[in-house]
Structure 1
Amino acid sequence: MVFVVVLLLASLTTPVVAAPNALWFDDSTVVVADGAFRDQHGREVVLRGFNVSGTAKLAEHRGLPFASAADARSSAVAMRRMTGANAVRFLVTWAWVEPEPRRIDHAYLDRVTEQVRAFTDQGIRVYVDFHQDLYSRYLFNRDSWYTGDGAPEWVVRAGDYPKESCGICVHWGQNMKNNNAVTAAVHDFWHNRELTTSAGPIRVRDEFLHQAGEAMRHLKSALPADAFRLVLGVNPLNEPYAGRYDRGQDGVTWERDLLMPFYRQFRQRMDEAGWADKPAFVEPLVFWNQNVDFFAEPGGFAAVPTLGDRFVFNSHFYDGKAQSGLLKPGKAGDGEYTADFARIRDRAAALGTAGIVSEFGHPVAGFTSDKNPTVLKAMYQALDSRLPGARWWADAAGSGPVLSGSQWHWDVNYGRHRELMNDNPDKVRTEGDAMNDEHFSAVRVDDGGNHVLTVEGRVVDRLFPRAVAGRTAAFTYEDRARDGGTVLSWNRIPESMPAVRALVGTGQFGVLVWRGNGVAAPTELHLPSSFPPASTTVVSDLATVTGPPDHTGAEPVAVAPEPGASGVHRLLLFTRDSGPHFALVANGASTASAAAARAELAAWVVATFR
């Protein structure tokens, strides 16, 4: 039996429900307000999904994530059905936007628009990422061990950089600090070096801002209004770093003096291009939140007093120790990353805005891939709560807000690429991601043309609060993910709650605690495919029902389809007051012990959330 517990800190009054036939589809602009993503009803919105990268970092399909719009559409449908994703980070690249100085490739941007629409047509929100890795593929020689993406060839040619070499580097990321060509080019970008080009003198950072503004203007005009409403905003630049510091400079002062002024200039370009109501998803120094000491540097906008509602604090996190296989030989465990992700929450709160983890993940193949189920489980656990499962019930009042996140990554071309590495026909890359020997895609397409997950399905198709009518006090989800033949159970219900333990048994369960904000719109939770509505039982102050009915407007507890692909569902819980609420939701459970479980949960809520 599979179970979910949803606690809604509650008074036992009958709520006022919404108007008949309201479907509450996600069709409005999401903004940042009061430290969270919010919709037009004032509900907290949690964004979960993937980086849509695929071949966007490669030349194989000319910088597009998919070979065609049809591939993008089938991929968007598969992502919705297999994971319940409601948002993606969509990669675009300067080299393809502006292949020659002052010439914007609008045909490329038309194809980008088509592929973005494949996701908005499924009701999946999109935020655009101007991506770069190691500044540019054109810095690397044809026989190099590594490659990059980002700046166009004409920028690199005008820069006249030294021959690249990383020396003895065991990971491509070491080029950021060790490769003289990379560090020189990046330093020039931040100092806005003037380049001599066929179009005349051009300052490199100014030109990046110009092409980004033109790209945003194109997308705004090419997307229908209903699709553009589902565009969340823009990530101005992936994984920023200094290249090399000026005398007396460190990560904190570099962020303050160079990175934040760039973001403010980018924010102005967004406003001018018609994106004024959408936030900029700004990243701190890439080395800020590293768990490998020799990479870590101070940062995280420590010298920036505030960001505010027009920006989102946007961080990445990877377990470099686990990927090394040497620094952390074992697998991830309960609470492995709660401190790392709590740091992201705390910085977002201190900066007066919402936080998101726009990249996280672990290899699905290779010599450390055996860690994948535990690492991904621990990362999603840390997105859900500040607490490990062993402490959640005792300390749930400190669980904190639920973080939004985009897993790296979703590549339907995984293992089927044909990328000429650095344009070298003698170095054709077909395996994995075809980028620096990486293997991160959560999906592949099999020989029959079917989308197949490469990761544990219980980890990525999760219960999560996609919209909360009020303020979340605590959330956890025990996915019971499998690591080979072992079921990973990190959150254990206390022995002091025997009825709840009996009801849940060995099934999946989740707990949500929130206080209402008095709106008619419901709290919504994505129901994973392991929770078919017909076998879902809800026991709460709102109603007790097995197989919640389809929402028509008269039910306090109901189910409704998610936008897009058929067969994907969300649970709707209606409360129209500003008080606390609770409910127990279980899949396939008998209601015989519901009264005892409800009493235990009510007592726990009162004792924990005074």
Structure 2
Amino acid sequence: MGTGRRLAGAMAAAAAFALVAPANAALPTAPNRELNFLHVGSPNPANGLPQVVDTRGREVLLKGVNVDGIVDYWDADASHPPPPSSLKPPYPNDPAAYSNGRCPPDDPRVEGVMVCDFDFDQMRPLGYDAIRLNLSWSLLEPQPGKIDRQYIDRIAQIVGWARRAGIYVVLDMHQDAWSKYVYTRGDVCAGDFQAIRGYDGAPLWASQHTMPACALHGVRELDPAVAEDFQKFWADAPAPDGVGLQEHYTNVLIALAQRFRGDPTVAGYELMNEPQPGFNAAPEESDATELFPYWGKAVNAGFRQLFFVEPNVERNVTDQSEISAPWSTYSSYRNVVYAPHIYTGVFTADQEVASRRFMPNDGGYRSAISDAKALGLPLWVGEFGNNPQDDDTILRTHYTLQDKYLLGGTLWLWKENANDVNGSVFWGVYGKPFGRGTPQPKRILITSRATPMAADGTLDSVHYGAGSGDFDIRADSASPVSCGDLSRATVLFVPPAVTAPVVAEGASIDVFSRAGAREVYVYPYGGPYRLYSGQPGDVTGPRCPPKTSAAPPIPLPKPHGCILTKSLRVSLRHPRHQRIVKVTAYIDGKRVLVKRGRHLRKVVLHHLPRGRRFRLKIVEVTNRGIRISRSRSYRGCP
């Protein structure tokens, strides 16, 4: 089969993952993923950057997508703009509208697509282990000092769905061009300045301005009204109630942290999306004089989880390093991650000004690594992406470079009706029609990757070939991890497009199924270990022995002739480090018993079929959510 046909076949297999029976149906189902509080650990010698680690010390890259379905987007006719006070939220914010599997109808006029519980059922089989959930200050604090608890309840609803799927959430205080309330209405835009619609971000009471809302060459960030509002923020100008804008903003962050302080699903908080300088500081000075001093003040308010901080938005255009001082200059809070956006060849100056791509395709990553080292912080790419027509070049390059530099990040975007800067295209992994949407095969092929979701020890290298399905992951463990110890194991995701056996060196493995994908729990022996895609003739393994496996393949008792039908006792062999909490028995496909308990050790079946053959199936569920199925045929005595 030629290369083109192999690629087409892999794409088709990836897109159909939710439409066909799982390819790994014989495997036990994957355990419920344990989410731990994350913190900043030691530098990884392979890239020289501090790493994000969980409470077990495993490196966690956080790879996934942006989700914007609760952003307070502009939803009005820009050619006939209404008064700002008449602008309404584009989606219902009452959690009841989304309960019990409900999902309100999509509004195709709005950029984003509402987040519903089925979104996480769609994400998890793709191997995404993190979302960057975009929030709006305008909905969190619609009036000065008045926190909207219903909106926070809606955020908590989404966090709960993510917890069920084993996906971390970064709560991102999102804004674009300051606010939906900054737009051309009655302003005279002269020369190269053009009328502009609103976008998203701050509430109306924090979006007052005297400068005209007109964008130079139509670029929303080059709007004097937007710059005026940012300048007020960096100067901590008083809000209508006399309290500084920064104090209001920090209090919103505190309200979020109070709600989610005890929930490890929330990996952390991003302070502001794509912040801009105001009038007082040159863009190259803004980070040191405006942004980072406020970031430091905000995180010192007392928090537990990670904070993600961005440089000013100019970096998206230049791909240049802008950081000169370490993070300790601004704050002693350690759990902070540097989270720039990288849009090389999309929003960089070469494409924006000359409509050509000549800036180095790895320039954004190299400068971001330099900035992160100067700050002494981990690096995480909060946004990257492109028009889907460039997926084979730009998007593949992003993932190749993230593997090369051992980085995580979140793609822009999960689902989208239309892109905010080019309404004729959408950048989503899923496209119309919504609710559930339509999977985009090439995006799934590239983004659903063989990748470590948690790595014991230190990652040395990651390689994955989207299309070929080849992968090779190397790491080094400081101490052995015993078979069945799910909480310390390295967790490897293998997408449905990869059918090759998983081969380990320096470790034993347990292999599980999740909706057609495979999740491999890896128990290093101590020292270097490797996981790679095998060749024809290779066998998945080495597997853990049945006595120590997290999902032991122990058969039902073998009959010797017919069996007495009055009762049959079946002993349950619980996996190491786990308990059996539920057992279901079927005879010829009909359920005959369900038993629940804290630590089940046996079940007894009564009144079995007499004088004929029948098939008994026992399904055991452990306290970690692993589902183990065992079947055998028996003949009942007359």
Instruction: Decide: shared fold, TM above 0.5.
Output: yes
* Secondary structure class of the residue paired with 1:261: helix
Q: 2:411 aligns with which of 390, 407, 412?
A: 407
Task: Measure the CA separation in 2 of the matches of 1:557 and 1:522.
Answer: 9
Q: 1:155 aligns with which of 190, 199, 206?
A: 206
Task: Measure the CA separation in 2 of the matches of 1:236 and 1:479.
Answer: 33
Relative distance call for 1:304 and 1:257 in structure 2 (3 A) is farther
Structure 1, unmatched stretches of 5+, are 5-20, 365-369, 386-399, 416-431, 481-506, 543-555, 595-610
Q: 2:391 aligns with which of 358, 372, 393?
A: 372
Task: Measure the CA separation in 2 of the matches of 1:218 and 1:133.
Answer: 25
Q: 1:559 aligns with which of 502, 505, 511?
A: 511
Q: 1:311 aligns with which of 336, 343, 347?
A: 336
Which has the larger share of helix?
A: 1
Relative distance call for 1:568 and 1:181 in structure 2 (3 A) is same
> Any residues of structure 2 matched to 1:374-453 within 5 Å, and which?
374-385=393-404, 400=405, 402-411=406-415, 414-415=416-417, 432-433=418-419, 437=423, 439-446=426-433, 449-453=436-440
> Any residues of structure 2 matched to 1:81-480 within 5 Å, and which?
81=125, 83-141=126-184, 144-156=195-207, 159-169=208-218, 174-176=219-221, 178-195=222-239, 197=240, 200-220=241-261, 225=262, 228-246=263-281, 249=282, 251-252=284-285, 254-269=286-301, 271=302, 275-276=303-304, 278-291=305-318, 299-300=322-323, 302=325, 304=327, 309-321=334-346, 324=351, 327=354, 329=356, 337-364=361-388, 370-385=389-404, 400=405, 402-411=406-415, 414-415=416-417, 432-433=418-419, 437=423, 439-446=426-433, 449-453=436-440, 455-480=442-467
Displacement of 1:557 in angstroms is 2.0
CA contact (8 A) 2:138 2:202 kept: yes
CA contact (8 A) 1:256 1:304 kept: no
Which one-letter code corresponds to 2:163 in the other structure?
Answer: T
CA contact (8 A) 1:147 1:436 kept: no
Relative distance call for 1:190 and 1:320 in structure 2 (3 A) is farther
Displacement of 1:290 in angstroms is 3.1
Which one-letter code corresponds to 2:522 in the other structure?
Answer: L
Displacement of 1:473 in angstroms is 1.7
Task: Measure the CA separation in 2 of the matches of 1:330 and 1:168.
Answer: 20
CA contact (8 A) 1:441 1:454 kept: no
Q: 1:536 aligns with which of 498, 501, 510?
A: 501
Displacement of 1:133 in angstroms is 0.7
Displacement of 1:49 in angstroms is 0.4
Task: Measure the CA separation in 2 of the matches of 1:355 and 1:64.
Answer: 35
Displacement of 1:529 in angstroms is 1.1
Relative distance call for 1:301 and 1:189 in structure 2 (3 A) is farther
* Secondary structure class of the residue paired with 2:272: coil
CA contact (8 A) 1:561 1:570 kept: yes
Displacement of 1:241 in angstroms is 1.7
Per-residue CA deviations over 1:511-547 (Å, capped at 9, x if unaligned) read: 2222212152332221111235xx52426354xxxxx
Structure 2, unmatched stretches of 5+, are 11-28, 43-49, 74-88, 104-115, 187-194, 482-487, 542-638
Q: 1:574 aligns with which of 492, 511, 523?
A: 523
Relative distance call for 1:160 and 1:309 in structure 2 (3 A) is closer
Per-residue CA deviations over 1:292-320 (Å, capped at 9, x if unaligned) read: xxxx6762355656677321011101134
Match of 2:537 in 1: 590
CA contact (8 A) 2:344 2:363 kept: no
Relative distance call for 1:232 and 1:583 in structure 2 (3 A) is closer
Displacement of 1:479 in angstroms is 1.1
Relative distance call for 1:569 and 1:123 in structure 2 (3 A) is same
Per-residue CA deviations over 1:244-267 (Å, capped at 9, x if unaligned) read: 234xx5524x32232222112221
* Secondary structure class of the residue paired with 2:308: strand
* Secondary structure class of the residue paired with 2:184: coil
Which one-letter code corresponds to 1:582 in the other structure?
Answer: R
CA contact (8 A) 1:43 1:468 kept: yes
Match of 1:389 in 2: none
CA contact (8 A) 2:95 2:157 kept: no
> Which one has the largest radius of gyration?
2
Match of 1:42 in 2: 57
CA contact (8 A) 1:410 1:442 kept: yes
Q: Report whether the alignment pairs 1:77 with 2:121.
A: yes
Relative distance call for 1:164 and 1:57 in structure 2 (3 A) is same
Displacement of 1:219 in angstroms is 3.9
Relative distance call for 1:151 and 1:259 in structure 2 (3 A) is same
* Secondary structure class of the residue paired with 1:36: strand
Which one-letter code corresponds to 1:99 in the other structure?
Answer: P
CA contact (8 A) 2:283 2:314 kept: no
Per-residue CA deviations over 1:305-364 (Å, capped at 9, x if unaligned) read: 6677321011101134578488465799xxx63342133233323322211001000023
Q: 1:508 aligns with which of 469, 473, 488?
A: 469
Task: Measure the CA separation in 2 of the matches of 1:360 and 1:47.
Answer: 14
Q: Percent sequence identity over matched residues?
A: 22
Relative distance call for 1:142 and 1:218 in structure 2 (3 A) is farther
- Return the structure number with greater relative CO, CA threshold 8 A, min gap 6: 1
Match of 2:69 in 1: 54
Displacement of 1:137 in angstroms is 1.0
Displacement of 1:86 in angstroms is 0.4
Task: Measure the CA separation in 2 of the matches of 1:64 and 1:287.
Answer: 36
CA contact (8 A) 1:522 1:572 kept: yes
Task: Measure the CA separation in 2 of the matches of 1:53 and 1:24.
Answer: 26
Which one-letter code corresponds to 2:494 in the other structure?
Answer: L
Task: Measure the CA separation in 2 of the matches of 1:139 and 1:52.
Answer: 23
CA contact (8 A) 1:98 1:104 kept: yes
Task: Measure the CA separation in 1 of the matches of 2:353 and 2:212.
Answer: 31
Relative distance call for 1:255 and 1:67 in structure 2 (3 A) is farther
TM-score by length of structure 1 reads 0.69
Relative distance call for 1:478 and 1:359 in structure 2 (3 A) is same
CA contact (8 A) 2:159 2:265 kept: no
Displacement of 1:213 in angstroms is 1.6
* Aligned residues between the structures: 461
Task: Measure the CA separation in 2 of the matches of 1:102 and 1:264.
Answer: 22
Task: Measure the CA separation in 2 of the matches of 1:297 and 1:184.
Answer: 25
Displacement of 1:31 in angstroms is 1.3
Task: Measure the CA separation in 2 of the matches of 1:204 and 1:537.
Answer: 54
